[in-house]
A = this chain, B = another copy of it.
Amino acid sequence: MRDDRFCNSNCPFTRAIGTIGNKWKPIIINVMGTRTMRFGQLDAIVPHISRKVLTEQLKELEEDGLLERLAYKELPPRVEYRLSEKGLAFLPILEHIKEWNLKYEVATIPKATDYKYAG
Binding site for B on A (CB under 8 A): 3, 5-6, 9, 12-18, 21-23, 26-27, 30, 47-48, 65, 85-86, 89-90, 92-94, 96-98, 100-106
Q: Are A5 and B47 in contact (CB under 8 A)?
A: yes
Identical chains bound together, number: 2
Determine chain A's interface SS by DSSP, over half rule. Answer: helix
Assembly CA distance A28 to B104 (angstroms): 19
Chain B CB within 10 A, most for which of A15, A27, A30, A65 = A27
Minimum CB–CB distance for A1 against chain B, Å: 10
4 nearest CB pairs, A to B: A16-B101, A21-B23, A86-B104, A13-B98
